[in-house]
């Protein structure tokens, strides 16, 4: 049997880096697409990179999801057995500022891969699409979303991902491709990008622990998300492609916490106590320590989105049953992992 060869778009991102580690452990040959950048953008994968002049199972290729030729050429050259399309402009807030770019990368980018697979007649490739809980936006009376819930995206990012979701399904039905969607709810880790809210919080609080004088400016504190750990979730991405038939799966923890609750729990890990005062744009967070009160969290309107998904909680019953999904990280363990890792980082930065 031919050795498994994976191609990962978005390998330099949070999920791409964990997935590459997982597949290397499973003895895959792993190829990743990286974008040309004027500064280094490989910090999450530097530890697994080996100069290709030496023996390695890990290879990087310059390419871009906006460039059909690069997508086609890479797939033609590598002839992967599995393709994980994790590449995206993945920031919901930024998608309101760069809607067209977001559509090109997070929407049409998926079509470019599927078309390359079709043109090359590589029907044995298994294709994974990184779909998202941002496809949902309205509860329609239910307080939990699963594979048959109604979609109602609320951002240019959500709409781009909706296109990707459906084009994946259409290529599965029309051309018999093994093409599956993982509808993943928010997942975080110490490798989460620093402009996403969880990492923004853990970076801030850990620096505060070491005496920083900064103030944290945030947007909607009351939004609720179903937060899991990226390490648990990339394992499910792999399992989705190991199924006998292509299919779509929700991956979620089934619990939702607000941004404010995330702050409270992260603070507790650091033996901090936060007192909240005021409401709406005037809400403020005070750090209570040594009988002193320090104002450390304020609201800034600029972090509110023109349209917001207020609430997301997923029902992953199908994945529990068919993928044997058993997350190792609880919400508390996830927050602890992020805080502990950022504390080490903050200590390094000080010295």
CB nearer to ligand G4F: pick between 125 and 312: 312
CB nearer to ligand G4F: pick between 68 and 341: 341
User: How many CA atoms does the CB half-sphere of 119 hold within 13 Å?
Assistant: 13
Q: Are 8 and 65 in contact (CB under 8 A)?
A: no
Question: Does 163 interact with ligand G4F (rule: CB under 6 A)?
Answer: no
Contacts of 130 (CB under 8 A, 6+ apart): 10, 15, 84, 85, 86, 88, 182, 184, 237
Count the neighbouring beta carbons within 10 Å of the beta carbon of residue 266.
Answer: 22
Q: Are 315 and 186 in contact (CB under 8 A)?
A: no
Distance CA 44, CA 52 (A): 18
Distance CA 214, CA 34 (A): 34
Find the angle CA(159)-CA(14)-CA(25) to the nearest 5 degrees. Answer: 125
Residue 223 interacts with, from ligand G4F, ligand NAP, none (CB under 5-8 Å by kind): ligand G4F
Question: Does 298 interact with ligand G4F (rule: CB under 6 A)?
Answer: no
Question: Does 87 interact with ligand NAP (rule: CB under 6 A)?
Answer: yes
Q: What minimum distance in Å lies between the beta carbon of 62 and ligand NAP?
A: 10
Residue 237 interacts with, from ligand G4F, ligand NAP, none (CB under 5-8 Å by kind): none
Question: Does 201 interact with ligand G4F (rule: CB under 6 A)?
Answer: no
Determine the interface stretch with ligand G4F among 62-70, 285-293, 303-311, 340-348 (rule: CB under 6 A).
Answer: 303-311
Q: Which of 200, 162, 325, 333 is nearest to 250 (CA)?
A: 325
Residue 220 interacts with, from ligand NAP, ligand G4F, none (CB under 5-8 Å by kind): ligand G4F
Establish whether 134 is a catalytic residue. Answer: yes
Question: Does 132 interact with ligand NAP (rule: CB under 6 A)?
Answer: yes
Establish whether 132 is a catalytic residue. Answer: yes
Q: What are 127's strand-pairing partners?
A: 83, 179
Question: Does 64 interact with ligand NAP (rule: CB under 6 A)?
Answer: yes
Q: What minimum distance in Å lies between the beta carbon of 164 and ligand G4F?
A: 11
One of 68, 104, 219, 336 touching ligand G4F (CB under 6 A): 219
CB nearer to ligand G4F: pick between 29 and 231: 231
Count the neighbouring beta carbons within 10 Å of the beta carbon of residue 210.
Answer: 11
Determine the interface stretch with ligand NAP among 14-22, 173-181, 311-319, 330-338 (rule: CB under 6 A).
Answer: 14-22
Q: Which of 274, 259, 283 is nearest to 335 (CA)?
A: 259
Site string for ligand G4F, 312-331 (x = CB under 6 A): x-------------------
Residue 308 interacts with, from ligand G4F, ligand NAP, none (CB under 5-8 Å by kind): ligand G4F
One of 195, 307, 322, 330 touching ligand G4F (CB under 6 A): 195
Q: Are 214 and 208 in contact (CB under 8 A)?
A: yes
Give pairs for 140-143: CB < 8 Å, separation 24+: 143/311, 143/313
Distance CA 329, CA 249 (A): 19
Contacts of 60 (CB under 8 A, 6+ apart): 11, 31, 32, 33, 34, 42, 45, 49
Structure tokens at 261: 């609750």
Residue 207 interacts with, from ligand G4F, ligand NAP, none (CB under 5-8 Å by kind): none
Question: Does 14 interact with ligand NAP (rule: CB under 6 A)?
Answer: yes
Site string for ligand NAP, 22-41 (x = CB under 6 A): -----------x-x-x---x
Distance CA 18, CA 328 (A): 15
Catalytic residue (choose from 102, 132, 168, 198): 132
Catalytic residue (choose from 72, 84, 128, 157): 157
Establish whether 275 is a catalytic residue. Answer: no
Footprint on this chain of ligand G4F (rule: CB under 6 A): 90, 92-93, 132-134, 185-186, 195-197, 200, 218-220, 223, 225, 259, 303, 305, 308, 312
Q: Active-site residues: which are they?
A: 132, 134, 157
């Amino acid at each position: 049997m031919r050795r498994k060869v994976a191609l990962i778009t978005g390998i330099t991102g949070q999920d791409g880096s964990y997935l590459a580690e997982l597949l290397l452990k499973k003895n895959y040959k792993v190829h990743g697409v990286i974008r040309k950048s004027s500064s280094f953008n490989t910090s999450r994968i530097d530890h697994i990179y080996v100069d290709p002049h030496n023996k390695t199972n890990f290879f990087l290729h310059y390419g871009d999801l906006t460039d059909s030729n690069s997508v086609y050429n890479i797939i033609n050259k590598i002839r992967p057995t599995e393709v994980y399309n994790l590449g995206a402009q993945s920031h919901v807030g930024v998608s309101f500022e760069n809607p067209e770019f977001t559509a090109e990368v997070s929407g049409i980018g998926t079509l470019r891969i599927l078309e390359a697979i079709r043109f090359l007649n590589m029907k044995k490739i298994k294709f994974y699409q990184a779909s998202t809980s941002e496809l949902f936006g309205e509860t329609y009376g239910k307080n939990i979303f699963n594979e048959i819930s109604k979609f109602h995206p609320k951002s240019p990012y959500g709409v781009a991902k909706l296109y990707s979701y459906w084009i994946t399904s259409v290529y599965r039905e029309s051309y018999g491709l093994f093409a599956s969607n993982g509808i993943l709810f928010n997942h975080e880790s110490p490798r989460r990008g620093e402009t996403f809210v969880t990492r923004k919080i853990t970076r801030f609080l850990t620096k505060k622990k070491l005496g920083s004088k900064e103030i944290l400016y945030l947007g909607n504190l009351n939004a609720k998300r179903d937060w899991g750990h990226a390490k648990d979730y990339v394992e499910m991405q792999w399992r989705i492609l190991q199924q006998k038939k292509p299919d779509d799966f929700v991956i979620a923890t089934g619990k939702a916490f607000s941004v404010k609750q995330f702050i409270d729990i992260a603070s507790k890990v650091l033996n901090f106590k936060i007192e909240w005062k005021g409401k709406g744009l005037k809400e403020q967070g005070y750090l209570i320590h040594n009988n002193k009160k320090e104002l450390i969290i304020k609201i800034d309107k600029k972090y509110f989105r023109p349209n917001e998904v207020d609430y997301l909680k997923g029902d992953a019953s199908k994945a529990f049953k068919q993928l044997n999904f058993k997350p190792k990280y609880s919400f508390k363990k996830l927050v602890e992992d992020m805080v502990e890792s950022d504390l080490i980082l903050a200590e390094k930065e000080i010295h």
